[in-house]
Chains A and B, each alone.
Chain A
């Protein structure tokens, strides 16, 4: 009984993966893993139409990315269920739309993907198209990108 309680506590505290996702190596969940501090106030969450808007933007961006002739290849063999969840959490957290980020840090999440600067720029373009389709004002789009841009050092393979 005691061991089951401990196991449950452990599972709760360390959400490495949720049902439907592949197992990942153990890591310590932390808000710092999101790679930037969130915006303060409701403005950005409103500009992105809350969690529903963020969900639509992530879905549209990833659907385009998987089919993209330039960067589609990077996602081959990738856990798409997990990526969709953690990317949503990350954006929702950064936009202060009421989520915690439970994923890995940016270095661990992009390790060995061979991402080049051109790939990162391509994903930015797809994200911009998705934000535009969601009618997020351009200035708010750039504000989110300003949070993501410094992460390029952890994402792009030297």
Chain B
């Protein structure tokens, strides 16, 4: 249908202009795995960091949707998040994620009470400014913002955080080098967030936002499978709870055109005073 309409546009070109926006919406059609997975903060990308791709399976002619659930059980804690994202014409992304961080028995040692839970909500927006992950000469280039608000105002202030909410701003460049089947992505993030914001924003050691680097490298083994690793440099703002950089090694598998499962081994370093937080990262994402 869209095609006939476009042809009619060409025929009428002498009289009318027919911008892409005039074509009827057509959903789906993105190449498998090129929508990425859902990062912990909710943006489409790798598991730890956003990529310059837009959530959902839509192309420049449609609207897409994705939803995900992630669990990260590490040595002493249990992390879980869930969220959804909308993609408009493979250009603009709006995302929401709710994160929950269960302190299990450590909560008692911290004086918060056993099984104390931190939580926050993250509202994100991303725009792909130029380029394309696969097709253009230029790599995909995007900027984004994430507004994060802690559900534990009093506690994060008591830990030494300056604010219970804050915004991250980031720029990201991503490219799938087809000739080598390798995807590389790099992100610079301006942030005040302590452990993504779960422990508030800013602290006694560092009050202001700092610029942090994040990156992913992935190798596509088949149409449906990619393996790779990620790195996320973190600020270290709180005197009482040292914060380490994050790493992971992942395998992502497109179970169907709409379902992507990701399993990773992840190292979160020291979290809320307890070091050596390593464990699994497991995510299921549905995208349309």
Q: Which residues of A contact B (CB under 8 A)?
A: 70, 73-74, 112-114, 116-119, 121-122, 124-125, 128, 132, 138-139, 142-143, 145-146, 149-150, 152-153, 157-158
Known: A138-B220, A158-B20. A121 touches B3 (CB 8 A): no
Contact B179 A142 (CB under 8 A): yes
Known: A138-B221, A138-B222, A146-B178. A117 touches B7 (CB 8 A): no
Contact A116 B221 (CB under 8 A): no
Shortest A138–chain B CB gap in Å is 5
Say whether chain B's binding surface is mostly helix, strand, loop, or mixed: loop
Contact A114 B7 (CB under 8 A): yes
Shortest A77–chain B CB gap in Å is 11
Contact B135 A149 (CB under 8 A): yes
**With contacts A121-B30, A145-B178, A153-B135 known, what are 12 further pairs, Cβ within 8 A?**
A112-B10, A116-B2, A116-B6, A116-B61, A121-B31, A125-B32, A128-B223, A139-B180, A146-B177, A149-B135, A150-B135, A150-B137
Query: What band does the interface of chain B fall in when counting residues whose beta carbon is under 8 Å from A?
Result: 20 to 34
Q: Which residues of B contact A (CB under 8 A)?
A: 2-4, 6-7, 10, 20, 23, 26, 28-32, 59-62, 90, 134-137, 177-181, 220-223
What is the bound-complex CA distance between A100 and B7, given in angstroms?
32
Contact B59 A121 (CB under 8 A): yes
Q: Which residues of B contact A114 (CB under 8 A)?
A: 2-4, 6-7, 10
Shortest B167–chain A CB gap in Å is 32
Contact A143 B179 (CB under 8 A): yes
Nearest B residue (CB) for A145: B178
Contact A118 B3 (CB under 8 A): no
Contact for A142 among B30, B90, B136, B178, CB less than 8 A: B178
Known: A142-B179, A146-B178, A149-B134. A117 touches B10 (CB 8 A): no
Nearest B residue (CB) for A129: B223
Contact A116 B10 (CB under 8 A): no
Contact B3 A73 (CB under 8 A): yes
What is the bound-complex CA distance between A19 and B282, given in angstroms?
59
Known: A73-B3, A157-B6, A158-B20. A118 touches B59 (CB 8 A): yes
Q: Which residues of B contact A125 (CB under 8 A)?
A: 31-32
What is the bound-complex CA distance between A7 and B28, given in angstroms?
51
Contact A121 B6 (CB under 8 A): no
Nearest A residue (CB) for B221: A138
What is the bound-complex CA distance between A128 and B254, given in angstroms?
15
Of the A-B pairs whose beta carbons lie under 8 Å apart in the complex, a sample of 30, sorted by A's number, is A114-B4, A114-B6, A114-B7, A114-B10, A116-B2, A116-B3, A116-B59, A116-B60, A116-B61, A117-B29, A117-B61, A117-B90, A118-B28, A118-B59, A121-B30, A122-B29, A124-B31, A125-B31, A128-B223, A138-B220, A138-B223, A139-B180, A142-B180, A142-B181, A142-B220, A146-B177, A146-B178, A146-B179, A149-B178, A152-B135
What is the bound-complex CA distance between A67 and B106, given in angstroms?
60
Contact B181 A139 (CB under 8 A): yes
Contact for B26 among A116, A124, A150, A157, CB less than 8 A: A116
What is the bound-complex CA distance between A124 and B177, given in angstroms?
16
Contact A118 B26 (CB under 8 A): yes
The winner among B10, B135, B136, B177 for most chain A CB atoms within 10 A is B135
The winner among B23, B30, B134, B179 for most chain A CB atoms within 10 A is B179
